[in-house]
Amino acid sequence: MVTGTATGGGALRTVGVEEELMLVGPDGAPIARAKDMLGSAEPADGPLEYELMEEQIETASPPRSTLEDIAAAIREGRAGAQAAADRHDARIVAVGTSPLAIAGTTVAKLRYLLARAEFGLTAREQLTSGCHVHVAVADDAEGVAVLDRIGPWLAPLLALSANSPYWMGVDSEYASFRSQVWSRWHTAGPTRRFGTPEAYHEAVERLIASETILDEGMVYFDARLSARYPTVEIRVADVCLSADTATLLAALARGLVETAARAADSPAPDVPVEILRVALWRAGRSGLSGALLDPRTWRPAPAHDVVGALIGHVREALVDAGELDVVTELLGELWAGGDGASRQRAWAAEADGDLGAVALRAADATLG
349 found inside a domain: yes
269 found inside a domain: yes
- Local confidence band at 307 (pLDDT 50, 70, 90 cut-offs): very high
pLDDT, tens digit, for every residue of 45-92? Answer: 999 999 999 999 999 999 999 999 999 999 999 999 999 999 999 999
Residue 70: which of 269, 274, 323 has the closest Cα?
323
Torsion of CA 217, 283, 340, 56, to 10 degrees: 20
4 found inside a domain: no
Would you say residue 6 has pLDDT above 80? no
3 found inside a domain: no
The CATH number of whichever domain residue 104 belongs to comes to: 3.30.590.20
Would you say residue 9 has pLDDT above 80? no
Question: What are the Cα distances from residue 78, in Å, to 43, 147, 361, 367?
Answer: 14, 29, 16, 7
- What is the number of domains present in the chain? 1
Total-model pTM: 0.95
Write out the residue range of the structural domain in which residue 116 sits.
Answer: 15-367
1 found inside a domain: no
Would you say residue 14 has pLDDT above 80? yes
81 found inside a domain: yes
Q: What are phi and psi of 306, to 5 degrees?
A: -70, -40
Q: How far is 144 from 141, CA to CA, in rounded Å?
A: 5
Q: What is the mean pLDDT of the chain?
A: 95
For residue 250, the one-letter residue type is A
pLDDT, residue 216, reads 94
8 found inside a domain: no
